[in-house]
Amino acid sequence: MNAKIPLSLVCSAALAFACGPRARNDASARNEATRVVRAVDANAPLSPALDVTVGREVTFSFQVMNAGKKKLEVAFPDGRTHDVVVLDTLGREVWRWSEGRMFTQAMQNRVLRTSDLLMYEEEWETPAPGHYVAVATLASRNYPVEQRVEFTVPQM
C-alpha cells in the first residue's frame, strides 16, 4: 500500500510537467510573431479599417470585413470583442476604450459570410491637443487583427 503512494505522486508529477507551461525560446517567439504578421497581412481573410473623426471629441469607427471566399467563425474568449488604444508620439498609452469597463466571461462566436462586416464605434470625449496614433484591435482568439491610424487633435 505504501508503494502505491509514491507511484501515484510520480504519475501526478509527470502529468503536471507534461501539461504545465513551457519556457519561451527564440523559435516559439518567432513562430508567434509570424502568426501575428500573417493575421494583419493583406492576404488575410479579415480586412480591418479604422476611421478617425476629430471634433470636440474623437470618434473611432473600426470595421472588420470578411474579405475571403469562405464564411468564417470568429471566436472571442470573453465579452470584449475589440479595443481602441490611443498612443502619444513617444508610444505611451494616453487613452484606452476598455479601461474601467467590465466584460462578461462568456465565450462568444460570430459567423461572418463573405463581405460581412463587424462594426464598432467608440468615442474619446476629452482629448488633449497633440499628435496621436490610434490602434484598434479585434480581440479574436483565431483571427486577431489590428489597424493603426495617425491623427492630430488641434488647439481649440
Residue 31 lies in a domain: no
| Residue 33 located in a structural domain | no
- Looking at the domain assignment, is residue 28 inside a domain? no
Question: The CATH number of the domain where 128 resides is what?
Answer: 2.60.40.2360
Q: Evaluate whether residue 24 is within a structural domain.
A: no
48 compared with 31, residue with greater pLDDT: 48
Does a structural domain hold residue 30? no
Render pLDDT for 86-143 as a digit per residue (tens, 0 to 9). 999 999 999 999 999 999 999 999 999 999 999 999 999 989 999 999 999 999 999 9
Domain assignment of residue 64, yes or no? yes
DSSP, res 21:
P
Domain that holds residue 119: 46-153
108 assigned to some structural domain: yes
Cβ distance 146 to 82 under 8 Å? no
Predicted pLDDT at 44: 72
* Residue 6 is assigned to a structural domain of this protein: no
Q: What is the number of structural domains in the chain?
A: 1
Q: What pLDDT score was predicted for residue 43? A: 62
52, 151 contact by CB (below 8 A): yes
The structure's pTM equals 0.70
What pLDDT is stored for residue 41 in this prediction?
A: 45
What's the pLDDT tens digit per position in 12-41? 555 455 544 444 444 333 333 222 222 344
Q: How far apart are CA 90 and CA 77, in angstroms?
A: 31
